[in-house]
Amino acid sequence: MSPRGSAAGRTHPARDDSPRVAPAVTSVDEPASPSKPGPDEPAEPPAREDGISDRWSDLLDYLSDAAALIGLDPDVHARLRVPRRILEVAVPIQRDDGRVEVFTGWRVHHNTSRGPGKGGIRFHPALDRREVSALAAAMTFKTALMDLPFGGAKGGVRCDPMSLSLAELERLTRRYTWEIITLLGPDKDVPAPDVNTDGRVMGWLMDTISLARGENVASSVTGKPTVIGGTEEHAGSTASGVVHVVRDVFAELGVQPAGRRAVVEGFGKVGAPLTFLLHSAGLRVVAVSDIGGAVYNPGGLDVASLSAHAARTGSVAGFPGGDPLDPTELFAVPSDLAVPAALEGTIDEKIAASVAAPVVVEAANGPITADADRILDARGVVVVPDILANAGGVIDSYFEWAQNRQGVAWEQGVGGRLLQRIMHKAFAEVWARSQSLHADLRRTAYAVATQRVADAMTARGLFP
C-alpha cells in the first residue's frame, strides 16, 4: 500500500512562477529595519498584493493540514503561523568602482522552542521576506522531524552574486553579517550555506562574528572549510541523505534500485554528487538538467564523463554522451524516480501532469508547488517531501556544531553512519504513521514535526 491521502479541502490559487527579480536596493514598500532587532513581537510577512499563492502560503496550508491530523491546540497553531522574529536590514557596500550600492537582507527566526535557530543563508536576486520566512518555517519542521536540538531560521540578501566581484562578495557577506550579528551565536542562531553561498562565504561570516566578539567562535557557523572547523562530509551530506531515502522508499514499495531509471533536475552542489551516488547505488541516470540545458540517454548517462564535461564547460548542455533535451520535458522522460534538486517551484501544475516517474524525492527546498502536489497526489505519485528527503545537510551541520562545541573532531566515518541512522529512523516513522493516518508522506511528515514542536512549546510555556 502506498502512502496516499486525500487533498480535499485544500484550495490554492493559481501561482505565477515567472521570475520575481527585484532591484538590488532597499525597497520603498519594505523599509529596512535598524541593525538591532526590536522587541520579540511576531510580524507576519506581508501578503502579496496580487493574491498569488507563494511558498509562505503553501507552508501555512501544510501546517493547517498537520494541525487537523494531530488535533493541534489552536493557540499553538496560531503561534506557529507567525515567525517569532523578522529582521530586515540595509546592506550598503562599496563597489570596486567606488560607488555605494545598497542591498536588502533578512534573517528570520520562525520558532526556537527546540533550540537555537538553524538555517542557511542565500544570495539571490528574487529573494524576499515571505520566501525567507517560509524557508525558516520549513527548517523548524525539518529539524524537529530529524529530532535535532534546533529551531528554524533562514536568511539572505537580495542580490545577483554573479554580478559581484570576489572582493565585493566578501564585503557584502561581512556587512550583512554585521547587520544581523545581534541574532547570531552558537546558542542563538547558527547559519549554514544555501543557494549561491558556500564554505568560503561561511568562513567570512564566522571570521566577522569572531572579530566582533574578540574570540574564535567556530560553532557559530556550519558548512565552513575544514581548516577552520568544518567537516569533510558536509559537501555531500544532502545528497547522501537523499540516496538513503531513495533506498528506503524503494524498499517499502518492493522495488529493487538496481537498473531503475532516474532523472535529476539540477547539477550543482546537491545534484552533481547526488547523480554520482545514484549511479553508484545501481540506478541508471537517464536524464539530467541544469540552468544551461538538459541531456538524455535512455541507456544511462556516463556520470563521470558528464561531471567532467560540466566542470569544463559550466553546464551539462552539449554533453556528447547524450541527446539534447528541452529542460521543461525532463520529468516527462520515462523513469522510475524523479529528483528535483534545483530551486523552489520548478514543478508546477503543468509539469506535474506530465511527471512520468511513480516516485518523486525532493532534494531541493519546495520544488513542488502546492497545486502541483495536489495533482501528483491525485495521480498516485509517491512524493517524499523536502523536510524529510534533503535533511542530510542539516544533520551534518548538527554534527559539525557538536564537534566544534566539544573541541574534538570525530573519527572518519562516524558522521556518515549516524546520518544514515537518523535518516532511516525518520523515514521509517513517517512511513508507518502515513499508513495509520491514511495520509500522504508530506502531510504525515509535517504532522510528526508539528507535534514535536508543539510539545516543546507546551513544555516551555508562554511568557509572561
- Catalytic site positions: 154
72-102 burial, b if ≥16 CB within 10 A, otherwise e?
A: beeebbebbebbbbbbbbbbbbeeeeeeeee
Give the integer Cα–Cα distance in Å for 77 and 246.
Answer: 32
Helix axis angle, 392-406 relative to 234-252, nearest 10°? 130
What is the distance between the terminal CA atoms of the chain, rounded to a whole angstrom? Answer: 48
Amino acid at 272: A
User: Under a CB-based contact definition with an 8 Å cutoff, are residues 270 and 390 in contact?
Assistant: yes
**Nearest one of 403, 366, 449 to 150, comparing CA atoms:** 449
- The DSSP output letter for 112 is -
The three cell numbers locating residue 177: 553579517
How is the chain split among helix, strand and coil, in percent rounded to 5?
Answer: 45, 15, 40
The single-letter DSSP state of residue 229 is T
Angle at 67 between CA 64 and CA 71, to 5 degrees: 145
Q: Which residues on neighbouring strands pair with residue 263, listed in sequence order?
A: 287, 338
For 277, the grid coordinates are 551516488
DSSP 282-314: T-EEEEEEETTEEEE-TT---HHHHHHHHHHHS
What is the rounded CA–CA span in Å between residue 363 and residue 198?
Answer: 17
Q: How far is CA 94 from CA 98, 101, 204, 396, in A?
A: 6, 6, 17, 35
The identity of residue 340, as a single letter, is P
Q: Which amino acid does the sequence have at 433?
A: R
Reference 391, options 358, 359, 429; nearest CA is 429
